[in-house]
Structure 1
């Protein structure tokens, strides 16, 4: 199975440093342009299935890509949602006291990284069962894409944090076989934005 993993375009909330989690998010003008450039980059790619987070910022990015793949229906799935951030959602990083050197533990009402990883792994396992030898496009978010990458590369939930943060509309391409052996063809690429 070939997995094309992308993150949504920049949102108005990203620009303001707002913690989104399960907030829908609205693509900024730049985010719409990023999504269009990503869509153009993927226009000649053979895509059999498109799965997107049901949150607006990912859904709107997926819609741009699907304009070049009109025979492929977008399947909206909650499994690809961003990590639920509990009481942090809607607050700015500044309000929460974030700085470059300061690590702040997630609030108790937030989804744990382990729970997000398990959600990603279960979704990936289902795809592997049902979409062998197919190309699947996944449109997600920074956190869930890190969890998916950990699952694809046979890492644990504790290793999710070691994976690089994903840029808006970054493109990663993986190949997976039925034994979960993987090959990374592209990772966190944003050359389409140049």
Structure 2
């Protein structure tokens, strides 16, 4: 399977340093522009199916991509949602005592989705899609955290490695070939040249 992985455009909440998790999020003007640019970049790709997070910030990004792929089936799914951050959602990084570049993945609580849970969610979903579309080209439109978890699953890393994985830029593109045994070749990683 050829897998194209992207992330939603910048949100108003990103700019305001608000933790989103499962909150819908709203694309900023810049984020909408990023969504249009990634859509333009992907317009010539032969995409057989699109799976997108059902959260508004990613769904709105996906809708821009869909404009160039109107006959491609699109599925808005919960499995590609960002990590559930419970009581931290809707609060600013400052309120939570996080420095500007400090990862929100460090937040701990019994009510938030654990790295193990997010990893398992990613693994189940990826395995299901690999089984259904092993010879196709699939686009996943997700979020930073879930995309990091997917990369850890593909690379055979542990749930604890999610925190150590490089962040994905807004509307970045990662492309790789992968088989059901998770043998993979990365062709492009976290590329944002369409935003230059």
How far 1:101 sits from its partner (Å)?
7.9
Q: 2:127 touches 2:180 (CA, 8 Å); kept in 1?
A: no
When the two structures are aligned, how many residues end up with a matched partner? 194
Of residues 109, 113, 116, the one that matches 2:115 is 113
1:100, distance to aligned residue in structure 2 (A): 5.2
Residue equivalent to 1:28: 28
Q: Distance in 1 between matches of 2:79 and 2:169?
A: 20
Indicate conservation of the 8 Å contact 2:52/2:140, yes or no.
yes
Does the 8 A contact of 1:8 with 1:61 survive in 2?
yes
More deviation, 17-26/69-78: 69-78
CA contact (8 A) 1:88 1:107 kept: no
CA displacement at 1:99 relative to structure 2: 1.3
Aligned-pair CA distance for 1:31 = 0.2
The separation in 2 between residues aligned to 1:30 and 1:145, in whole angstroms, is: 21
Matched, 1:16 2:20: no
| SS of the residue 1:20 aligns to | coil
1:77 equivalent in structure 2 = 77
- More moved, 96-105 vs 164-173: 96-105
**CA 1:31–1:118 in 2, change beyond 3 Å: closer, same or farther?**
same
Per the alignment, residue 99 of structure 2 pairs with 99
**C-alpha RMSD of the superposition:** 1.3
C-alpha contact 1:120 1:144 (8 A) present in aligned 2 = yes
| 8 Å contact kept, 2:20–2:90 | yes
1:32-77: CA deviations, max 9, x gaps? 0000000000000010000000000000000000110010121010
Matched, 1:4 2:4: yes
Dislocated runs of 4+, deviation >4 Å: 100-104
Name the CA distance, whole Å, in 1 between partners of 2:101 and 2:42.
Answer: 37
Between 92-101 and 120-129, the greater mean CA deviation after superposition: 92-101
Gaps of 5+ in 1: none
| 2: CA distance, partners of 1:54 / 1:101 | 27
Give the Å deviation of 1:125. 0.3
Partner of 1:134: 136
Indicate conservation of the 8 Å contact 2:93/2:100, yes or no: no
Matches of 2:12 and 2:108 in 1, distance apart? Answer: 23
Q: Quote how far apart the aligned CAs of 1:154 are.
A: 1.6
- Hey, what's the Cα distance between the residues in 2 that align with 1:28 and 1:105? 25
